[in-house]
Structure 1
Amino acid sequence: MKIIKYTLVGYLALLSAAWWLTDQADLFNLAGFFPWRNVLSQYTGVIAIGVMSLAMILSARPVFLERYFGGLDKMYRLHKWLGISALVISISHWLIADGPKWLVQLGWLTRPGGRGPRPVFPEGSLQQIFLEQRGLAEGIGEWAFYAAVLLMVLALVKRFPYKRFFQTHKILAVAYLALVFHAVVLVKFDYWSGLVGPLLIVLMTLGSIAAVMSLTNRRAGGKRALGKVLAIEQLAALGVAAIEVQLDSGWPGHKPGQFAFVTFHEDEGPHPFTIASAWQKDGRIRFLVKALGDYTRSLPKRLKVGDSVKLEGPYGQFTFEGNAPRQIWIGGGIGITPFIARMKALAGEPDGKAVDLFHCTADYDQAAVDKLTRDAAAAKVSLHVLWDQRDGRLDLQRLTKSVPNWREADVWFCGPARFGQAIRDGLGSLGFPGERFHQELFEMR
């Protein structure tokens, strides 16, 4: 997604420019290894805490940013890349700060003499207070760095169980707060009166608020609602459980294609699930849960009718809005869910658009296909069911042949990321505008 790349690169450029404009006067007078080491230590420290701050802000799920990024799923993808950037930059900062000390101890590098006494500031001045806290800030920062690196690496390991990821990822908020203290004390004092200082103050303040919210299980966006499990239907051939929930007051309603963070069991924490029903203002909401991990495989056995449920949302911009007179929907596997919700809505409120729905699946269940066929008929949607074993996979040639006027359509895709990328690239090679291809990035880690 271009918006993610542009935002990440632009943000790094903004932080770098603010630092450069603040510290450029000193750069032209540097000579020798250690002066450059000090400057680069400050630079990487500024960039690292700036990147961590934005990542922490996004973790609070500020729903007002969804329209700019195209949904919370894209914001979480940016959050992931900010985390990777923070990991690389913070390791660089650590090596720049501590590496020369190791080289001096090994005798491979000589520290220049004549460092002179530390500056003396008026007693009780902010400069003097910061100077007295340097040792503490260095120690806290080092241990917080070790913890943050471990937690960020674990977050990137797909095999690390989601339950443990959810539990350990919150500890990053504590590490971040420790690193804020480290940065406040050790950032060059002159920076606070320069261009980069106010920027850091805003970022670290908002990041700290987001960290406290994370530790207290609060979020900036989305409403919370309580409910109970009303019914559970198992579609064994598909490895899917259809779960219907009756909500109490508090749910603001949702658009077809949006999702919610759902907590069925407190020890597991919230999982994001796409909503499979249109909002009828009756408090009922339906989810289709695919058995993809240990928890989702065990969910039908653990969950019982009458169990309490917590919801947070709705989130997402996969809401079928567009000006084109035709739409093409492509649902891969459980990615059919948002299209089911949209068909339920269209059955009651048609929008006049011609729609072709391609349901591509490796597993086949006739009862599920019959339901899908009835929903499509009620919504006046042209349904194309492609069972891999029988029909092969959907490719560009089949897509364009099935919908001759595909150039007049908006395309909405939900399914495996590589499948979606292949369709996007193929259409793009034929001149299809990228902004009219909408893809749900349903990976929250």
Structure 2
Amino acid sequence: MKYIRTIYVLLFAALVLLWLLTGNLLQTPLQFFPFRSAMINFTGVLAMGAMSVGMMLALRPSRMEPFLGGLDKSYRLHKWLGVTALALSIVHWLWVEVPRWLVGWGMLVKPSKGPKPPQSWLVEWFNLQHGFAEQVGEWAFYAAVVLILLALIRYFPYRYFFRTHRLLALVYLVLVYHSIVLMKPAQWPTALGMVMALLMLGGSIAAVVSLVGGIGRRMRAVGIVDALEYFRDNHVLQVGIQLRDRWMPHQAGQFAFVTFDHKEGAHPFTLSSCWDHRGKLCFHIKELGDYTRTLPEVLRVGQMAIVEGPYGCFDFGGPQQRQIWIGGGIGITPFMARLQALAVQPDGREIDLWYSTAEPDPGFIERLTRLAEQAGVRLHIVFSERDGRLTADQLREAVPQWQEASIWFCGPSGFGKALREGLTECGLDSANFHQELFDMR
């Protein structure tokens, strides 16, 4: 998380600094309307900078994963940028509209404009576009507000989110036109202008790729569902997929986007199997929403599936020879894949695995126990309704060398936050607590 926080802060710090270096604020007279013009420009620059980087992150750039800490962290940064762009856009709109209302109500007097100095034909052409650019920009702003708010509403069905969110790419392209026309001509030859041009160029390319359905296309493989097993007590469906296309060998802990129904779109699921060079993938899918609840009824052996990936940096690496794994609910899946890998090729580490569940399934636990025995990993089962939620104190008591260990957590975010805070308060280096983020919206 610290990497994406750093990137987030550096992005806005750089844009603010570049904007200040253009002299916008220092050269602005101490009058309301010139200051308003500067603030419109300032908020517009920041909002478009945030949207441009967010649009590029939507491409799922796998080469950037090591720098961002994984695609799950990249999507978290994408979300932060979207929310920030929304807030900045609202402030931008208020700076435009509220003074107009005040002038209309007679509470402000708009200063008269003096004669304009001679300008180049290009600037004159852009000036002729101002009215139209303002109009389409306003409507694009309204559309962006609605689409971003829909993306933030967790109860908005995923299949509709999958379709509506792509429309943001079209809205973004309209806002690029709006920004190019209305950005101050004197800013384009500056460092700010060059940076904004590069950001909007990159964002525009990403928007076009999104609109034509090109996101992740090179990472996709076609497969056939060849095995299904339902664990009724914990509402988990095990899905086996035999790939028919080439696939980049994945590491235990990674995930993929899987499409069973084109109308529904791709959903992210953690791989629960290690790579076996035969093109066989396995997923354990928990009934967590309307769509996943239907899978035990609608999925059939022989059905086609499209798998995109692998993604993620939850890789069980690091120099520590002691590791503590915690899987909360369906968060046990990356550890199942790692157990299989260790059974084939041990890494010499001493490992304790906690599986915390509110819905124990005997068959599922038996299989997990067998995998742990084959991998030489100590397994601890916690039934939350009987034993309560696993705490940092319990971990410290069970593993005296906990400060020398790296912690790998996958499960509900609140559960992970409580463990992280409890351990770091007692001396664990926060860099040694690794958490997979399930929330991709």
With the shorter chain as reference, the TM-score category is over 0.9
8 Å Cα contact 1:224-1:313 kept in structure 2: yes
1:397 aligns with 2:396: no
Structure 2 counterpart of 1:239: 235
Partner AA of 2:35 in structure 1: W
8 Å Cα contact 2:340-2:371 kept in structure 1: yes
Structure 2 counterpart of 1:21: 21
**SS where residue 307 of structure 2 aligns?**
strand
Distance 1:87 1:29, change over 3 A: closer
- Provide the aligned length of Structure 1 versus Structure 2: 441
Any residues of structure 2 matched to 1:28-43 within 5 Å, and which? 28-43=27-42
Structure 2 counterpart of 1:83: 82
Partner AA of 1:116 in structure 2: G
**SS where residue 423 of structure 2 aligns?**
helix
Partner AA of 1:93 in structure 2: H
**SS where residue 238 of structure 1 aligns?**
coil
Shift of 1:69: 1.3
8 Å Cα contact 1:259-1:316 kept in structure 2: yes
8 Å Cα contact 1:331-1:414 kept in structure 2: yes
Shift of 1:324: 0.2
8 Å Cα contact 1:62-1:221 kept in structure 2: no
8 Å Cα contact 1:256-1:342 kept in structure 2: yes
Tell me, in whole angstroms, the C-alpha distance in 1 between the residues paired with 2:380 and 2:52: 46
Partner AA of 1:228 in structure 2: I
Tell me, in whole angstroms, the C-alpha distance in 1 between the residues paired with 2:159 and 2:278: 32
Shift of 1:249: 2.2
8 Å Cα contact 2:28-2:34 kept in structure 1: no
Deviations 1:321-369 (A, max 9, x none): 1110111000000000000000000000000001100000000111111
Shift of 1:31: 2.4
Tell me, in whole angstroms, the C-alpha distance in 1 between the residues paired with 2:188 and 2:249: 45
Structure 1 counterpart of 2:114: 116
Partner AA of 2:235 in structure 1: G
Shift of 1:118: 4.5
**SS where residue 172 of structure 2 aligns?**
helix
Distance 1:73 1:222, change over 3 A: farther
1:150 counterpart (142, 146, 152)? 146
8 Å Cα contact 1:222-1:315 kept in structure 2: no
Structure 2 counterpart of 1:258: 254
Structure 2 counterpart of 1:53: 52
8 Å Cα contact 2:216-2:308 kept in structure 1: no
TM-score, normalised with respect to structure 1: 0.97
8 Å Cα contact 1:222-1:314 kept in structure 2: no
Tell me, in whole angstroms, the C-alpha distance in 1 between the residues paired with 2:198 and 2:337: 40
Tell me, in whole angstroms, the C-alpha distance in 2 between the residues paired with 1:120 and 1:149: 38
Distance 1:220 1:241, change over 3 A: closer
Any residues of structure 2 matched to 1:49-198 within 5 Å, and which? 49-113=48-112, 115-122=113-120, 125-198=121-194
Tell me, in whole angstroms, the C-alpha distance in 1 between the residues paired with 2:118 and 2:143: 34
1:307 counterpart (283, 303, 308)? 303
Choose 389-398 or 269-278, whichever is displaced more: 389-398
Deviations 1:288-337 (A, max 9, x none): 11000000000111111111100111000001011101110000000000
Tell me, in whole angstroms, the C-alpha distance in 1 between the residues paired with 2:188 and 2:365: 63
Choose 50-59 or 299-308, whichever is displaced more: 299-308
Shift of 1:392: 2.3
Structure 1 counterpart of 2:206: 210
1:440 counterpart (433, 436, 440)? 436
Structure 2 counterpart of 1:2: 2
**SS where residue 292 of structure 1 aligns?**
coil
Deviations 1:201-240 (A, max 9, x none): 1100000011011111112686110011001111111111
Shift of 1:378: 0.3
Tell me, in whole angstroms, the C-alpha distance in 1 between the residues paired with 2:118 and 2:227: 72
Any residues of structure 2 matched to 1:316-335 within 5 Å, and which? 316-335=312-331
Tell me, in whole angstroms, the C-alpha distance in 1 between the residues paired with 2:394 and 2:161: 40
Partner AA of 1:99 in structure 2: V
8 Å Cα contact 2:140-2:175 kept in structure 1: yes
| Structure 2: gaps spanning 5 or more residues | none
8 Å Cα contact 1:62-1:219 kept in structure 2: no
Tell me, in whole angstroms, the C-alpha distance in 1 between the residues paired with 2:122 and 2:246: 47
**SS where residue 98 of structure 1 aligns?**
helix
8 Å Cα contact 1:275-1:338 kept in structure 2: yes
Partner AA of 1:186 in structure 2: L
Shift of 1:407: 1.3
Structure 2 counterpart of 1:368: 364
**SS where residue 80 of structure 2 aligns?**
helix
8 Å Cα contact 1:222-1:313 kept in structure 2: no
**SS where residue 288 of structure 1 aligns?**
strand
TM-score, normalised with respect to structure 2: 0.98
Choose 363-372 or 385-394, whichever is displaced more: 385-394
Distance 1:29 1:245, change over 3 A: closer
Tell me, in whole angstroms, the C-alpha distance in 2 between the residues paired with 1:332 and 1:348: 25
Partner AA of 1:400 in structure 2: R
**SS where residue 22 of structure 2 aligns?**
helix
Partner AA of 1:86 in structure 2: A
Q: Alpha carbon RMSD of aligned pairs, Å? A: 1.2
Shift of 1:60: 0.6
Structure 1 ranges of 4+ moved more than 6 A? none
**SS where residue 231 of structure 1 aligns?**
strand
